[in-house]
Amino acid sequence: MELNYKMMGQGEPLLVLHGLFGMLDNWQTLGRRFAEHYLVYLLDQRNHGRSPHAASMSYPEMAEDLHEFMTANWIHEAAILGHSMGGKTAMQLALQYPDTVSRLIVVDMAPRAYPGGHEFIFEALRELDLSAVEDRVEADAQLARRIPQRGIRQFLLKNLARTNGEGYRWKMNLPVIYDDYEQVLAPLQSDRPYEGPALFIRGGKSGYVRDADWPDILELFPNARLETVAGAGHWVHAEAPDALFRLVHDFLRKDEA
């Protein structure tokens, strides 16, 4: 699969993966900062952003997409940074193709199964009648019936694109994301650990990476360390970009030294 991407900067390669319902645009601000030191690739994962739509989406498939991207772009080894769903894709790549991952950075995600929590978002998105939407203001008003949080609505509405006519469509492949949601929540499995250096960053106010998850993380990533960003929730890169940048940059520089 030929993933959509944006490249910036120069130096050692750093690949960045967004989370569920996201796209590479979510990481452009931090991407530009990283690009002052690294050759940064911001990617849209399958069924998201401007990347191709596919009939399924599991972590082995998304890791394979990433491996194909690296091969096609002559990237033999790179640091991989992933947030949430992108963090699981990054972990899966490191487990499947450890020689291609020089350093692993996972933002607010563990390799375990998750119970869900996006059902209200799916309901709101599937109820939105795009054929009757005249502008983004109206789309936002419809979503507000089920999603009171303005920040979440603005994040989701970045997926809205005009059709060739006067209507709107979703950039993401909403039907497949909905059908394969259980795959997104599924745990990672591997018969061997990733022995390379790994940094796990969690938000202090987020419950995605619990203290109880750490032994299981170390089984798959024995050379991992954990950093907590106080005051941040799940969206660490949006809520505490300076802290996240410093943690990642220090980790990458230390490994290069």
13-30 tens-digit pLDDT = 999 999 999 999 999 999
pLDDT of residue 256: 47
- Do 43 and 147 reside in the same domain of the chain? no
Q: The domain containing residue 169 runs over which residues?
A: 119-179
H-run or E-run covering 6: strand 5-9
| Closest CA relative to residue 114, chosen from 46, 163, 187, 192 | 187
In percent, how much of the chain has pLDDT > 90?
93
CA-CA distances (angstroms) from residue 154 to 58, 81, 87, 137, 256?
26, 24, 22, 10, 38
Indicate the residue among 179, 196, 229 that finishes a domain: 179
Q: Please determine, for residue 75, whether its predicted confidence score (pLDDT) is greater than 70.
A: yes
- Mean of pLDDT over the chain: 95
Q: How confident is the model at residue 257 (pLDDT cuts 50, 70, 90)?
A: very low
Residue 4 · residue 49 · CB < 8 Å:
yes
Q: How confident is the model at residue 164 (pLDDT cuts 50, 70, 90)?
A: confident
Of the residues 84, 102, 206, 237, only one is catalytic, namely 84
Indicate the residue among 179, 204, 223 that finishes a domain: 179
pLDDT of residue 198: 98
- Do 17 and 66 reside in the same domain of the chain? yes
Count the Cβ atoms, other than its own, within 10 Å of residue 22: 24
Active site residue 234: yes
Active site residue 84: yes
Give per-residue pLDDT as tens, 178-227: 999 999 999 998 999 999 999 999 999 999 999 999 999 999 999 999 99
- Do 91 and 210 reside in the same domain of the chain? yes
CATH of the domain at 17: 3.40.50.1820
- Do 109 and 228 reside in the same domain of the chain? yes
Q: Please determine, for residue 255, whether its predicted confidence score (pLDDT) is greater than 70.
A: no
The CA distance from 207 to 204, in Å, is: 8
- Do 157 and 247 reside in the same domain of the chain? no
pLDDT of residue 167: 83
The helix/strand/coil state of 10 is coil
- Do 25 and 89 reside in the same domain of the chain? yes
- Do 137 and 36 reside in the same domain of the chain? no
pTM of the full structure? 0.95
Q: Which string of b and e fits 245-256 if b means at least 16 CB within 10 Å?
A: eebbeebbeeee
pLDDT of residue 131: 83
- Do 101 and 135 reside in the same domain of the chain? no
pLDDT of residue 132: 83
Length of the chain: 257
CA-CA distances (angstroms) from residue 197 to 3, 10, 56, 111?
26, 22, 31, 16
- Do 133 and 161 reside in the same domain of the chain? yes
- Do 107 and 133 reside in the same domain of the chain? no
- The number of folded domains in the chain is 2
- Do 109 and 133 reside in the same domain of the chain? no
Q: Are strands 224-229 and 39-43 parallel, antiparallel or unpaired?
A: unpaired
Q: Please determine, for residue 35, whether its predicted confidence score (pLDDT) is greater than 50.
A: yes
Give per-residue pLDDT as tens, 111-150: 999 999 999 999 999 999 888 888 889 999 999 999 999 9
- Do 24 and 85 reside in the same domain of the chain? yes
Of the residues 18, 83, 234, 237, only one is catalytic, namely 234
Indicate the residue among 179, 208, 226 that finishes a domain: 179
Residue 204 · residue 230 · CB < 8 Å:
yes
Sheet containing 198-203: give its strands across.
5-9, 39-43, 13-17, 78-83, 101-107, 198-203, 224-229
